[in-house]
Structure 1
Amino acid sequence: MVATDFAEARVGRSGSFGSRGTKTWSTPAPTPTAPSAQPMQRSATPQGQTAPGAAARAPGAQPGGFFNRGGFMGGLMGGLLGAGLFGLLMGSGFFSGLGSLSGILGLLLQVGLIFIVVRLVMGWLRNRNQPSYAGGARPDATGPDASRPQPLQRDGLNGTGAPQGAPMGAPLGGAAPRAGFGTAPRGRPLKLDGTDFDSFERLLGEVQTAYGRDDRAALAERLTPEMMGYIGEELDDLAKDGLENRLTDVKLLQGDLSEAWSEDGRDYATVAMRYQLKDVTLDKATGRVVQGDPERLEQAVEFWTFTRTPGAAWQLSAIQQG
């Protein structure tokens, strides 16, 4: 039971939380490192302040049925069909005014009229639901996709002398990603450079180790106030149970930039990271290991979102489990 309670003891053990500006309640773009992320569970950003169209019907979704459609055409067809059914029950056919056309000829004429009306209405509905594309382009058109996430890379040579364009694997490195991908619906594209990627990797290790030491002063420098509140709750829960969570040997194994954008005077970057660390929960009084193996390296895959005002240092603003 103890192992189950503290299976996620590192930073972010309480799930997915934080803020990503107008993209808070949308799913980060998939990457090779992490194809999907858990939805945000806790955030100070109200769901009503998300990007426009976040609650719109999914592409390809159809309306709730022909008879559920309102407006003039829905009322017209509902009246026609309702009157026709009533006429059938009363023995006068769909159109009582055609009672003189008895027999098979009258029946065929009524069926033909109904068929023509239904075809006209269905054609009108089909044209109404046909999506329009700016410039005639379709979402499934072939060609390069500038919004597809790419491995984190940096300009020029990295610290180890790797050539420009080398993909990021272990520490973050390589050629700078193309501007234009990961654009927020209400933001503008943000171009990052090698120093930004170095900051993301450094913050991963510094936040985890500060958490393992319960160093709240160090955490406050590296987290947004909202994130500091959530992480402080986790540390309070550990202290209340007489436990401490030691996190050591943190190392980034793979990372991809999911999204990078600017909005309302702030920069945002969401990064998918797969990293390893030693994660052990101890009883403070006795030093007994409650959960984890001090000699075993564990791996985690998460989306970390960083934010800053232009010219300031990056801070962690959200964590979503992969």
Structure 2
Amino acid sequence: MRKFRLSTTALALLCAVSLSALGTADARPGSGSSIGSRGSHTWSAPPRTSITPGWARPMDQSATPRSAPGYGATPTTPMPGYGAPAFRPSYPVRHPFLSGFAGGFLGAGLFGLLSGHGFMGGMTGGTSFFGFLLQVLIIGGLIAFVLRLFGNRGQRSPMGMPSSAGATPFGNAGGSTPVTLTNDDYLSFQRLLLDIQAAWSAQNMRALASMATPEMTGYFNAQLSDLASRGARNIVSNVQFQRGDLSEAWREGNLTYATVAMRYSMTDVTTDSMGNVIDGSSTEPVTVTELWTFVRADGRGNWILSAIQQAG
């Protein structure tokens, strides 16, 4: 019995040490890391603000592939099923109809030759091998002309000016246009800050999914699962927004992004499965400054969270 009591005590101490290693700074939404995507600006440092005079910490995790050298972060493996490769798709991918038409047209002719019916119905009467070559040249020339015509159209903007070939929504900061935000936008950012913290504390994944991108929702789910596997739960309460400052806002295609530096205070407590506090304080609030990036589709939908970066 004495050995059993000693073993139980040792196990309890080990669990306490493991739970205390979670740390208050790493328990809030985002776990104190830089995660998510900022479109083509993901691997570029956000402009400094009055409350973030130093550089923001580069992304620790992002679904956006890094196509060019940035300011020092090495991206992790993108989450499955999310993100886009930073390359220009091949012509068959960009023009499946035209490519299918050309392939089917030529395929029908070759199939006719192999089946003994000749190219495009056979060569009868005065048609000779030279006639066959002439047909191939004429048809090939027509197909090449059509493909070149549509290919050039695909490389021009609606105004007819040449666009940047190979530009994609990711990895090309030059494809963005600055935008101006309204007071309603800033109110939405503050509301999202409070609502996301509340949903996190309630472990409400459905609510989090309605306020964040699938990528960020995946990160939140993984972080909450990690806490649960350790028999712990993080509760953020008494969140008070103190100050905010716009870092940058821009548009890419039909998406509008806004990165905002936000300083807020909160009570950050980590408890065990019995509700006992194992880290943090329920009486002493902590102050945090982070850069949150929001995104929305122009003309439809609301702002949702797409990234969190640590200041300094």
Both structures adopt the same fold (TM-score exceeding 0.5): yes
Secondary structure in 2 matching 1:261: strand
Secondary structure in 2 matching 1:15: coil
From 235, 245, 249, give the equivalent of 1:256. 245
- CA deviation after TM superposition for structure 1 residue 5, in Å: 2.5
Matched, 1:40 2:28: no
Q: Give the conservation status (yes or no) of the 8 Å contact 1:14–1:234.
A: no
Secondary structure in 1 matching 2:193: helix
Q: Deviations over 1:179-230 (max 9, x none)?
A: xxxxx53211111101100000000000011101101111000000000001
Matched, 1:5 2:22: yes
What does 1:144-163 align with in structure 2 at a 5 Å threshold?
none
Cα RMSD (Å)? 1.5
Secondary structure in 1 matching 2:175: coil
Is there any run of 5+ residues in structure 2 with no aligned partner, and where? 1-16, 72-172
What does 1:294-313 align with in structure 2 at a 5 Å threshold?
294-311=282-299, 312-313=301-302
**Aligned positions, number:** 190
Is there any run of 5+ residues in structure 1 with no aligned partner, and where? 56-183
From 21, 24, 45, give the equivalent of 2:42. 24
What does 1:169-180 align with in structure 2 at a 5 Å threshold?
none
Q: Give the conservation status (yes or no) of the 8 Å contact 2:212–2:306.
A: yes
Say if 1:9 and 1:306 are closer, same or farther in 2 by CA, change over 3 A: same
What does 1:199-214 align with in structure 2 at a 5 Å threshold?
199-214=188-203
Matched, 1:319 2:269: no
Secondary structure in 2 matching 1:217: helix
Secondary structure in 1 matching 2:257: strand
The amino acid across from 1:45 in the alignment is T
* Higher relative helix content: 2
Match of 1:81 in 2: none
Name segments (4+ residues, structure 1) moved above 4 Å: none
Say if 1:290 and 1:54 are closer, same or farther in 2 by CA, change over 3 A: closer
Secondary structure in 2 matching 1:47: coil
- CA deviation after TM superposition for structure 1 residue 251, in Å: 1.2
Secondary structure in 2 matching 1:306: strand
Aligned mates of 1:47, 1:32 — CA distance in 2 = 28
What does 1:211-290 align with in structure 2 at a 5 Å threshold?
211-284=200-273, 286-290=274-278
**TM score, norm. by length of structure 2:** 0.59
**TM score, norm. by length of structure 1:** 0.57
Q: Give the conservation status (yes or no) of the 8 Å contact 2:295–2:304.
A: yes
Q: Deviations over 1:258-284 (max 9, x none)?
A: 000000210000000110011000112
The amino acid across from 1:260 in the alignment is A
What does 1:74-223 align with in structure 2 at a 5 Å threshold?
185-223=174-212
Aligned mates of 1:256, 1:185 — CA distance in 2 = 23
Match of 1:163 in 2: none
- CA deviation after TM superposition for structure 1 residue 34, in Å: 1.1
Secondary structure in 1 matching 2:288: strand
Secondary structure in 2 matching 1:313: strand
Q: Give the conservation status (yes or no) of the 8 Å contact 2:257–2:293.
A: yes
Q: Deviations over 1:91-139 (max 9, x none)?
A: xxxxxxxxxxxxxxxxxxxxxxxxxxxxxxxxxxxxxxxxxxxxxxxxx
Q: Deviations over 1:5-62 (max 9, x none)?
A: 22321011151110000000111111011122101111111001x6xx858xxxxxxx
- CA deviation after TM superposition for structure 1 residue 250, in Å: 0.8
Q: Give the conservation status (yes or no) of the 8 Å contact 2:32–2:310.
A: no
Say if 1:54 and 1:240 are closer, same or farther in 2 by CA, change over 3 A: closer
Q: Deviations over 1:143-170 (max 9, x none)?
A: xxxxxxxxxxxxxxxxxxxxxxxxxxxx
Aligned mates of 1:14, 1:230 — CA distance in 2 = 12
Match of 1:109 in 2: none
Identity %: 44
